[in-house]
Every structure is written in C-alpha cells, then in structure tokens.
C-alpha cells in the first residue's frame, strides 16, 4: 500500500523490496545491509540509505533511497570496485582515483539530514570494520594509521559527495564512540559517547569529553534523539538499559533508566529494537515478543512506557539491529525499513 492511500493507525506493509540490486537507476532496487544508516528527507519524502557490511566482498558504497510516493527503491549510482579504494596524501579514504565518493562503511546511527539543505551528513570512520586496507596509498610513506576521517556530505539533488573537516571533527568521527549513535543540537553541536563519557563537537569544531559514568546508556547500537537541549539514548545491544537522559546545559545531571523499572516491558525483548522520536518529544519503541513486534510509547519526561495494542506478526529475526526507523511529518507515521531479514520490507506505523 502506498503512503498516500493509507490513513489507518497501527502497522502497514508498504513495500516488498527485491533481494538484490540491479544496475539500472530509478527502478525498484536495494542491496540490503543491516549496517547501513538512514535519514528521512521530508522535502522529497524519501528515506536515504548509505552503508554496507564492509566484509571485503560487500563494500557497497552506492546511495539508495525509498520513495513514499510510489513505494520504490532507487539507486543513485553503482558501487565502486574495491580495486580503486585508496587513501590520499591527506589521509582521506576515497573509492577511486576520481576522488568523488567515499569508501563503503558502517553508518548506522551516524547520519542525519542537514536542515535547510539537500545534503545528508555521515560522521563515521571508513576504516572501522572495513576488514581491508586501502588498495592504494597515494603517499607510499603513509599507512592506515595516518588516516584523517572527514565528515562526508551527499547532495541528493546533484548526486555529489564532498568531504569536510570541522575543527577537531576527526576526533568525533574516528574516536572509540563510532559504535554509538550521534545527534546534533544547533547550540551544542554533535553529541555522542558511551556509558562513561559524553563526547561533544561544538559547531565551531571544539571537541570535549564529560564524565557520565553510571548515568549514561552504555549499550552500542542505541538510537539518540534530541528534544530541545536534552538528548536521549534509547535501547541498544543489551537488555538492561531502556534509555538515558542528558540535559546538555548540565550533562552532570544525566540519568539512566533501566528496563526493569517499566512493567509494560516485562517479558519483552528490547535488544537492538527500533525507536523513533515524534514531534511531541515522545518516543515510539518497538520491543519484541517471539516473532511479534509491538509498538509502545516511551515518555522520557514522565518516565513512563505505555502499550498501544498495535503489533506486527511473523517477523523472522526482528531483534538484530535490523530495522531503520524514521519519522515522516507529512504522514504522521514511522517508516520502518528491514535492512537484513524479511526481504528488506518497508513498514509504516502510525500511533
């Protein structure tokens, strides 16, 4: 069912993706990858997908998209051959001698659509999980240890990439926090970190660390959301923590909230579940019971979780950091892309 034909609440299957990509652009095509990142482009009602498994044979650096208007996947260009992968003299990883596209890379939780532009941003170290060295070092005296990971920007209209550095941005891109989510605040800049430290890259490019030990969700693969000047880290690769709350004006007042504190989650698996923040600041979470995925509402200010009664059944492996979740303001719904299992289907969920 197409988005514009769907008005009901609950779950809806919107698209069934093909199992493998083809070379023709603007056709139903998508090479699924659980390690890909996604962003929602409200202006074009498109979920953009970039990222790959990066297991040498799966170095797919193509940009894909899912369009709400016709339910199709599109591909902007073919993946570049691994034989061209290189590090230039400045330490930047390019996919060919043309230096017009980055390597394939793990990107989940590290992308955003830049407001007021046609670009999405990728803040990830292409060397991480690559399982291969550059095929060419343009400066033979350098090694992978000399790399300088930039912030990548892709213009979805012109189909062009650019690499940029913002002060100490290489520390944020290539720090130990690459397995953790990233969010952006216009005042405080880019926010990431683990269970011990909150990392911040200011809009001017200054990198700082704040100790949040015992107060932060330390689970990898979590989602991070920003509501005003408060950041929330939700879920991740563990069953212990549901979310943590971080007021950016005083990160020392951060707090961590455990799954066990929420009766509605008893008997549910929250490991690597999808989640997305709605415009009202509440967060839709998708815990699992067996092969059934339920929708619940986390209110991080009231510190409550409520059930909705909405469930989608028959997912084969719904708990493996598989589902991308993006909010469509126009449709008042969550777009859920299954990136590895269940045929890489697209579901909608309307609270």
Lay out the sheet containing 151-155: strands in order across. Answer: 111-113, 119-122, 151-155, 160-164
74 phi/psi in degrees, rounded to 5: -130, 160
pLDDT on residue 320: 60
The label of the residue with tokens 């699992």 reads 288
pLDDT on residue 317: 64
The label of the residue with tokens 């990830």 reads 124
pLDDT on residue 341: 59
**Looking at the predicted structure, is the pLDDT value of residue 178 above 90?**
no
Token pair in block for residue 277: 């923040």
Specify whether the CB–CB gap between 4 and 19 falls below 8 A.
no
**Rounded to whole angstroms, how far apart are CA atoms 1 and 245?**
37
Over residues 182-198, the pLDDT tens digits come to: 999 999 999 998 999 99
The label of the residue with tokens 């800049």 reads 189
pLDDT on residue 316: 67
Nearest residue to 134 (alpha-carbon basis) of 123, 154, 149: 149
Specify whether the CB–CB gap between 28 and 73 falls below 8 A.
yes
Nearest residue to 46 (alpha-carbon basis) of 66, 64, 32, 28: 66
**Rounded to whole angstroms, how far apart are CA atoms 351 and 344?**
22
pTM for the complete prediction?
0.94
Q: What is the mean predicted confidence (pLDDT) over 55-82? A: 90
24 vs 200: which has the higher pLDDT: 200
Question: How sure is the predictor about 150, in pLDDT bands with cuts at 50, 70 and 90?
Answer: very high
253 vs 320: which has the higher pLDDT: 253
Phi-psi group of 109: left, alpha or beta (phi > 0 → left; psi -120 to 50 → alpha; rest → beta): left
pLDDT on residue 1: 81
**Looking at the predicted structure, is the pLDDT value of residue 283 above 70?**
yes
**Looking at the predicted structure, is the pLDDT value of residue 24 above 70?**
no
**Looking at the predicted structure, is the pLDDT value of residue 208 above 50?**
yes
pLDDT on residue 291: 84
- Over the chain, what is the mean pLDDT? 91
pLDDT on residue 16: 76
Q: Is 186 exposed, middle or buried (0-12, 13-18, 19+ CB in 10 A)?
A: exposed
**Rounded to whole angstroms, how far apart are CA atoms 215 and 232?**
12
**Rounded to whole angstroms, how far apart are CA atoms 322 and 293?**
12
How many CB atoms are located within 10 Å of the residue 131 CB? 12
Lay out the sheet containing 86-87: strands in order across. Answer: 93-94, 86-87, 136-137
Nearest residue to 169 (alpha-carbon basis) of 153, 182, 151, 184: 151
Token pair in block for residue 339: 């990136």
**Rounded to whole angstroms, how far apart are CA atoms 271 and 266?**
13
**Looking at the predicted structure, is the pLDDT value of residue 92 above 50?**
yes
Spell out the SS3 assignment of the chain. CCHHHCCCCEEEEEECCCCCCCCCCCCCCCCCCCCCEEEEECCCCEEEEECCCCCCCCCCCCEEEEECCCCCEEECCCCCCHHHCEECCCCCEECCCCCCCECCCCCCCCEEECCCCCEEEECCCCCCCCCCCCCEECCCCCCHHHCCCCEEEEECCCCEEEEECCCCHHHHHHCHHHHCCCEEECCCEEEEECCCEEEEECCCCCEEEEECCCCCCCCCCCEEEEECCEEEEECCCCCCEEEEEEEHHHHHHCEEEEHHHCHHHCCCECCCCCEEECCCCCEEECCEECCEEEEEEEECCCCEEEEEEEEECCCCCCCCCCEEEEEECCCCEEEEEECCCHHHCEEEEEC
pLDDT on residue 344: 65
């Amino acid at each position: 069912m197409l988005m514009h034909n769907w008005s009901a609440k609950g779950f809806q299957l919107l698209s069934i993706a093909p199992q493998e990509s083809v070379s023709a652009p603007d056709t139903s095509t998508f090479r699924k990858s659980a390690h890909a990142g996604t962003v929602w482009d409200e202006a074009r009602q498109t979920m953009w997908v970039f990222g790959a498994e990066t297991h040498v044979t799966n170095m797919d650096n193509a940009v894909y998209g899912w369009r709400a208007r016709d339910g199709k996947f599109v591909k902007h260009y073919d993946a570049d051959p691994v034989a061209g992968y290189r590090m230039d003299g400045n330490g930047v990883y390019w996919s060919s001698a043309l230096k017009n596209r980055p390597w394939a890379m793990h990107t989940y939780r590290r992308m955003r659509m830049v407001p007021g532009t046609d670009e999405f941003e990728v803040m990830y170290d292409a060397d991480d999980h690559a399982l291969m060295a550059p095929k060419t070092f343009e400066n033979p005296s350098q090694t992978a240890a000399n790399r300088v990971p930039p912030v990548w920007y892709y213009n979805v209209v012109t189909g062009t990439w650019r690499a940029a550095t913002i002060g100490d941005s290489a520390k944020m891109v290539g720090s130990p926090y690459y397995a953790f989510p990233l969010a952006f605040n216009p005042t405080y800049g880019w926010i990431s970190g683990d269970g011990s430290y909150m990392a911040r890259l200011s809009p001017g490019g200054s990198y700082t660390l704040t100790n949040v030990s015992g107060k932060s969700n330390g689970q990898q693969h979590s989602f991070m959301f920003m509501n005003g000047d408060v950041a929330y880290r939700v879920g991740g690769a563990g069953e212990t923590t549901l979310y943590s709350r971080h007021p950016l004006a005083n990160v020392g007042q951060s707090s961590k909230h455990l799954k066990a504190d929420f009766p509605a989650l008893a008997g549910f698996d929250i490991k690597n579940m999808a989640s997305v923040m709605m415009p009202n600041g509440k967060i839709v979470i998708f815990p699992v019971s067996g092969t059934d995925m339920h929708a619940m509402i986390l209110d991080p200010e009231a510190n409550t979780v409520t059930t909705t009664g909405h469930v989608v059944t028959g997912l084969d492996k719904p708990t493996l950091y598989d589902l991308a979740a993006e909010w469509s303001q126009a449709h008042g719904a969550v777009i859920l892309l299954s990136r590895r299992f269940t045929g890489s289907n697209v579901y909608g969920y309307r609270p």
